Amino acid sequence: MEIENKVEYLSPEGWRQWHLELLQSTLNRVYSRVPFYRKLMDEKGLKPEDVTDLSALKKLPFTTREHLEKNYPYDLFAVPLRDIVRLHTFPGPRTPIVKGFTRRDLASIRRLTARFLVTSGVTSEDIVQICLDPGMSIWIEELKEGAEEVGASVIPPDPQSVTNRIRIMRDFRTSVLVTTPSYALYLAHFMQEKGISPPESLRLIVFVGEGIEAPERLRLEKALGVDTRLGYGVTEAVGPGMGYECEEREGYHLAADYFLAEIIDPETGEDVKEGETGELVITTLTVKANPLIRFRTGDLCRFLPGTCPCGRTTPRISQIVGHSDGRVSIRGIKVSLSYIETLLEETYGHVPEYLLCIRRRNYLEELELWVAMNEKLFEPSILGLHRIAEKFEKTFEETFGLPCRLKLVEKDHLLQVAKGQKIIRI
Amino acid sequence: MLTVRNLTTHYGPVQALKNVSLHVGKGEIVCLIGANGAGKSTLMFTIMGVVRPSQGEILFEDEPIQGLEPPAIVSRGISLVPEGRQIFYPLTVEENLELGAYQRFKREPKESVLADLESVYELFPRLRERRKQLAGTLSGGEQQMLAIGRAFMARPKLLMLDEPSLGLAPKLVDSILQAIKTLNEKGLTILLVEQNARKALELAHRGYVLETGRIILQGRTEDLAADEDVRRAYLGKDYQKFTD
């Protein structure tokens, strides 16, 4: 399938016009239709007409995940509710976060995801198997539709044991696997342990949800005999396929026809110096239902200098090196510390000292929350303590589709292990 | 080919265009859709130099043209087929067409003008049949053909059409739009203003939606045709409620 991607090769002047036109129409829409943005812009004394240049973007206020929560359920929609044909919800610390899609939004995301997959090397001849946790349901949906748009045959991640997944891979001659790096590593390890040789048909793995370090990537490619490509996306903004590697595999090309990207210093909110690491900020340009202006993704990365030998003129970013907003990615699922704190507060009536441990067991990441014991935690019985912990674990798993064990530990031990951090990887 | 940036136009104290930016690439058909009074015709008049913008840039083939007089803009290669055709009723069909080439007679051999006249007659055989007839006696559809033919006689690179289907019977609308498509296939770039959004979206490659002087939406025409706002505008159902 041919993918329309001429736009990726626009001249700098072409990009300037493209972005200006879309930014202006986005602002015209949000100013007249989203009271939240109208208020923010009025507070800054800004009207959509004042944006005559892309540099005016810097005068616009940021949108944070907290704003998304506070404006739950309807207040960030830029279209009447009846125009929204799909609603996805995902957990926020206090309220759910909602993202709506108009028919047009779905079509445009489908096209973008297809472009991402085609650039990654997927063709209409491929059998694409998606292996992602249920916590990534939005992406599963979008990746499935994108692969279908390419014309490939898709095997979505229906609940199956690993053994069965490998069997299906073999029986249906899966040629492309779409998964997280951690699951791919786990799969490789599992095959090795059980003495199963990797399916011969498998030729490409498209990684989503998280990055992977170069040596580990190489090892995986060798072990499975495949090529790999990485994709990047922000669920709240556009979806998967917002960034993808070309054949050069030198960073993510951003889909600059869908959004504007900035990298700022998370402390000051100012642009970082050229090539420095900072927080990626996204302004959507084509989204109709839930447009976002200067959305702080919390993802730390840097712009890569120079133009890519592939000829695309879209900006490139490095892999994500961390999160500035206390979120952590486990198997591609983003868990925020503020959510954990809210849940601890609900469970114990206060937020005790805690430490989030990400344990890698057989390459699969597992979560453990260590909670420091204190006098306020005490229950008359051990059973009571267990029940409370179970309640926490249940709510956590319900919310993220991911288990998290709660472990009570001595405060001194916790502090010793944590060394001032709230998250550690073991 | 045409790049418009931050265009603002006033009629006295009334702001008719507010920070409009758009572009038309070579070989494209781009349509502008919007309700009455949205500023579509004003945008055309501003590009043509009939109305002066109070702010903004208009670049044609990378050269600024804002501030130029309409004849200078026509000679750069932009022609307008105005709304309501505005043909010269007391003149014959052929005289009207020749007037379209008025600026060319001074600098081009007559043969090339005559060749274009022939092309117009090929495109609209009806005009050839009525070449000696007074323009005022033509039917609405024929007058529209004449208006397009006259604009084409200036040998434009960009042809702008303001409501070419206005007041025409459905069958005639189709033949006029077909003629526009043919002109485009021959290499002419088209900027089309149309109230008949469905027809415009069928014909054009890309489109912009203008609402009270502002562009609120743009994109590929198949996306616009599926867009709820556009559908409401096109259907005329409770449009006001959502856009004002």
Domain map (residue ranges) of chain A: 1-324, 328-425
| pLDDT at position B242 | 46
Distance (Å, rounded) from C-alpha B222 to C-alpha B204? 9
Query: Which residues lie below 8 Å from residue B105, measured CB to CB, with a gap of 6+?
Result: B113
Average pLDDT, chain B: 88
User: CB-CB: which of A28, A104, A107 is closest to B215?
Assistant: A28
User: CB-CB: which of A49, A80, A107 is closest to B19?
Assistant: A49
The minimum CA-CA distance between B208 and chain A, rounded to whole Å, is 10
User: CB-CB: which of A28, A29, A107 is closest to B223?
Assistant: A107
- Starting at the edge strand that comes first in sequence, how are the strands of the sheet with A259-264 ordered? A259-264, A278-284, A295-301, A322-323
CA B194 to chain centre: 9
Interface membership of B119 toward A (CB under 8 Å): no
Q: Are strands A153-155 and B63-64 parallel, antiparallel or unpaired?
A: unpaired
Residue of A nearest to B57 (CA): A52
Average pLDDT, chain A: 92
Report whether the peptide linkage leading into residue A73 is cis, meaning its omega lies within 30 degrees of zero: yes
| pLDDT at position B206 | 95
For range A365-379, the mean pLDDT: 86
| pLDDT at position A79 | 95
pLDDT > 70? residue A178: yes
- Give the amino acid at B66: Q
Interface membership of B10 toward A (CB under 8 Å): no
> Which of A13, A19, A49 is the best residue to mutate to test the B interface, defined by the most B CB atoms within 10 Å of its own CB?
A49
| HEC per residue, A94-110 | CCCEEEEEEHHHHHHHH
CATH 3.40.50.300 is right for the domain spanning B2-77+156-243: yes
What's the pLDDT tens digit per position in B95-120? 999 888 888 888 888 888 888 899 89
Could you tell me where in chain B the CATH 3.40.50.300 domains are found?
2-77+156-243
Residues of chain A whose beta carbon is less than 8 angstroms from a beta carbon of chain B are 17, 20-22, 24-25, 28-29, 32, 48-49, 51-52, 79-80, 83, 102-104, 107-108, 286, 288
Residue B182 in contact with residue B125, Cβ under 8 Å? no
Q: Do A24 and B21 touch (CB under 8 A)?
A: yes
Distance (Å, rounded) from C-alpha A212 to C-alpha A164? 26
Residue of A nearest to B223 (CA): A104
pLDDT > 70? residue A365: yes
What's the pLDDT tens digit per position in A137-162? 889 999 999 999 999 999 999 888 99
For range A198-224, the mean pLDDT: 93
Q: What is the CA radius of gyration of chain A?
A: 22
Query: Quick one: what percent of chain B has pLDDT higher than 70?
Result: 95
pTM of the shown model: 0.89
Q: Is the dihedral of CA A305, A309, A314, A316 positive or negative?
A: negative
Residue-by-residue DSSP string for A50-72: G--SGGGGGGSPPB-HHHHHHTT
Contacts 24+ apart (CB under 8 A), B239-243: B239/B35, B242/A80, B243/A32, B243/B211, B243/B212, B243/B216
| pLDDT at position B240 | 47
pLDDT > 90? residue B57: yes
ipTM for the assembly: 0.88
At the topology level, CATH places domain A1-324 in Rossmann fold (3.40.50)
Class of domain A328-425: alpha beta
What's the pLDDT tens digit per position in A264-283? 999 999 999 999 999 999 99
User: CB-CB: which of B22, B223, B242 is closest to A21?
Assistant: B22
